[in-house]
Amino acid sequence: MVSPNPAPALPSPTRLHVPFLSLRILLVVNAFASSVTARNTVVVHRALADDRGHGGNDVEVVETNRRGHATRFAQDAARRGFDVVIGFGGDGTLNEVATGVAGTDTALGVLPGGSTNVFARTLGMPNDPALAVRQLAEGIAARDIEPIGLGKVNGRYFCFHTGVGYDAAVVKEVERRASMKRWLGHPLFIYAALRTWMVKYDRSAPHFTVATPSAPPVQDGYFTIVLNTNPYTYLGNRPLDLSPAASLDRGLVAITFRSMQISAILGGLSGALKGGGVQASTTLDLQTDLTELTISHDVPFPYQLDGDYLGETRRLEFSHVPDAVRLVRPALHLP
């Protein structure tokens, strides 16, 4: 006997547009994120529950209170058959939700609630959650869902980048003043970058070796950024474009600075500030479309993942995972 309302087929590696039936949605909220308030959480909940004439969505709301909490919420939701899990917080919250639903049929939704919101803005969303939820709600109503690739390092997924060395030391300095992040935002990052440069990071010797299957190893790495998307971050409203080759449908990009001389750093970043990406040189190694790479050293070095400092290690093993997660695409042109 054929059911009058058959379940939708699992998506192929193409975008899925199937407007039908209401959805079960879990909204994972980080109430400590800089742009999250009780008021806009209510606005977000109502917008997501309104399914544009399809009968309304069933939206549950949970709040995180410690690191790793969002991943456990997302994993549990995927096991229970939720259709979409949405991360409403900063990039760290989004990373945890993506990690929880990766490899399942549950789709990932993105809402900006932090100070920078790199991944949400990469998708074309504004920083204002009240505006962004309209785009997300339209994407959900259209069932505009497609598989995307993620990076993976030492078994953990990342959405847009992993920073190794100096970059991670800056994030560590920011997290030491986490209570100030909500109010100071970008000025705190600038302060942390300057303080780390002056007194918190050894600029006298290389910190690690970067090895890939397709090129000789870079043995004098001072800091490396491994990109899954571009831009690397935003300076206010200005994107810092490190490599146009970093996108959700291509492999990873590894950018390694081989000197900590200020002239080498500024010279390497000049193209990024202009929007054209960095260029390979004697002091900067650039490798694109990577399926894997390894960063290692005898002495532990710091690393951060999607803006969360994860400590020090002697070895990082990276891979690119195509079609790792099903993403709800926000509608960039609202009716």
Q: Give residue limits of the domains in the chain.
A: 16-150, 161-305
Who has greater pLDDT, 189 or 27?
27
pLDDT at 182: 54
Distance of CA 58 to the CA centre of its chain: 26
pLDDT at 183: 52
- 303: confidence class by pLDDT, cuts 50, 70, 90: very high
pLDDT at 93: 95
Average pLDDT, the chain: 88
Who has greater pLDDT, 185 or 113?
113
Q: DSSP code of 196?
A: I
Tell me the C-alpha distance between 211 and 293, whole Å.
6
User: Cβ(135)–Cβ(201) under 8 Å?
Assistant: no
Question: Amino acid letter at 130?
Answer: A
Residue 51 has pLDDT above 60, yes or no: yes
pLDDT at 231: 93
- Out of 15-24, 104-113, 186-195, 223-232, pick the least confident: 15-24
**161-305 CATH choice from 1.10.3470, 2.60.200, 1.10.1060, 3.40.190:** 2.60.200
Task: Give the percent of the chain with pLDDT over 70.
Answer: 89
Give me the mean pLDDT over the 227-247 stretch: 91
Who has greater pLDDT, 332 or 20?
332
- 10: confidence class by pLDDT, cuts 50, 70, 90: very low
Residue 218 has pLDDT above 80, yes or no: yes
Q: How many CA atoms lie within 13 A of 108 on its CB side?
A: 31
Distance of CA 148 to the CA centre of its chain: 12
Give me the mean pLDDT over the 48-60 stretch: 79
- Out of 18-22, 244-248, 279-283, pick the least confident: 18-22
- 184: confidence class by pLDDT, cuts 50, 70, 90: low
Which residues are registered as beta bridge partners of 227?
A: 161, 253
What digits encode the pLDDT tens for the residues 105-143? Answer: 999 999 999 988 999 999 999 999 999 999 999 999 999
- 293: confidence class by pLDDT, cuts 50, 70, 90: very high
User: Cβ(270)–Cβ(235) under 8 Å?
Assistant: no
CATH superfamily of 16-150: Probable inorganic polyphosphate/atp-NAD kinase; domain 1 (3.40.50.10330)
